[in-house]
């Protein structure tokens, strides 16, 4: 595809919603309009691409959404899209609408869907949007900062009552199979202990010993943060009661972390990534994903990106270990 050959693009959100997705949609649409490119919003992700659920978009259609959580285009998971028949229907919609490219906002599942479209000749670019921050090619994903701040606010409120009653609190945060959110939140709230899927869970070492250490240090209330992919907060609470004789209160934050007004960081990063995604398509590049490292926004090949592995920041985990139980 030659430069300036792009006349119309589509934008969709897929998988779990994340605060800042609307800011990314807004950026894609307004950048496209600025460059003389028409923009079509595909509603309900790949399911909408299959069924032809779309709306034409302009600068006014994305007014006053930068501060809204969720996604104005809605999102869904599509079992049909993973089939060859479903992909053919999606490609047919792209051809019918005359789309020269697709911008997909979501996690690794969204990127794999874009890969499938690329195999059928559709130009695609992915923007990482997930509160889990588990996309290996990028230091940051849209929604992480808001979700972390939401969890911190909730835990700070819980701490007030735990201190008043001198109790133990066990809080389960989201993150799927990754512990980035849990570790970040645990450090932010000064948790007594944190349980993450990247480290093999041992109750005595990771919880009991930390609580005992804190109690011997004079503390009478304890905060345990659990990543949902590492252990069950309910089971951790039950074991604390059985092994330590405490009466813990268990709180599962759940989907409350996905909603709410996006932070300034999520809005700015989403805007920068959306801007970059449209420029990548306009330059005739495809099968790309937008990344951010050291505050620099750039693009790389999706297949290369998905082949990468991501681990917890060893420095953050080391710091958290030093802080645990104190």
Burial 191-227 (b: 16+ CB within 10 A, else e): bbbbbbbbbeeeeeebbbebbeebbeeebebbbbbbb
Contacts of 137 (CB under 8 A, 6+ apart): 128, 289, 291, 300, 304, 305, 306, 308
Specify whether the CB–CB gap between 19 and 146 falls below 8 A: yes
CA distance 300 to 308: 12
- Catalytic residue at 108? no
Strands ordered across the beta sheet of 38-42: 54-57, 38-42, 8-13, 101-106, 124-128, 288-293, 296-301
Phi/psi for 8 (5° steps) reads: -150, 135
**Burial of 174 by CB count in 10 Å (0-12 exposed, 13-18 middle, 19+ buried)?**
buried
**Catalytic residue of the set 108, 116, 132, 206:** 132
CA distance 120 to 116: 7
Q: In this structure, are strands 249-252 and 168-173 parallel, antiparallel, or unpaired?
A: parallel
What beta strand segments (E) does the chain contain?
A: 8-13, 38-42, 54-57, 101-106, 124-128, 168-173, 193-195, 222-227, 249-252, 288-293, 296-301
Specify whether the CB–CB gap between 301 and 168 falls below 8 A: no
Task: Give the active site residues.
Answer: 132
């Amino acid at each position: 595809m030659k430069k300036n050959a792009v006349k119309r693009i589509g934008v969709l959100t897929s998988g779990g919603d994340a605060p800042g997705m609307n800011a990314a949609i807004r950026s894609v649409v307004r950048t496209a309009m600025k460059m003389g490119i028409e923009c079509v919003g595909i509603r309900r992700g790949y399911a909408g691409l299959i069924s032809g659920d779309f709306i034409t978009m302009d600068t006014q259609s994305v007014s006053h959404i930068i501060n809204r959580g969720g996604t104005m285009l809605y999102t869904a998971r599509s079992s049909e899209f993973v089939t060859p028949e479903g992909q053919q229907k999606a490609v047919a919609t792209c051809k019918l609408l005359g789309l020269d490219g697709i911008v997909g906002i979501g996690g690794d599942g969204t990127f794999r869907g874009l890969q499938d479209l690329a195999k059928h000749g559709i130009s695609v670019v992915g923007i990482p949007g997930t509160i889990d921050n588990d996309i290996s090619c990028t230091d940051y994903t849209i929604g992480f900062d808001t979700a972390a701040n939401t969890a911190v606010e909730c835990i700070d409120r819980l701490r007030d009552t735990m201190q008043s009653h001198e109790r133990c609190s066990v809080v389960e945060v989201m993150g799927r199979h990754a512990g980035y959110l849990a570790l970040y939140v645990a450090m932010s709230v000064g948790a007594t202990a944190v349980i993450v899927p990247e480290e093999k869970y041992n109750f005595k070492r990771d919880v009991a010993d930390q609580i005992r250490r804190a109690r011997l240090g004079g503390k009478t209330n304890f905060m345990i943060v659990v990543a949902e992919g590492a252990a069950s907060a309910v089971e951790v609470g039950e074991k604390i009661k059985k092994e330590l004789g405490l009466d813990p209160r268990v709180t599962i934050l759940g989907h409350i972390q996905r909603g709410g007004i996006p932070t300034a960081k999520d809005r700015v990063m989403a805007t920068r990534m959306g801007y970059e995604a449209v420029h990548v398509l306009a330059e005739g590049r495809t099968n790309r994903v937008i990344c951010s490292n050291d505050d620099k926004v750039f693009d790389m090949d999706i297949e290369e990106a998905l082949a990468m592995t991501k681990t917890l920041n060893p420095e953050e985990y080391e710091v958290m270990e030093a802080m645990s139980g104190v």
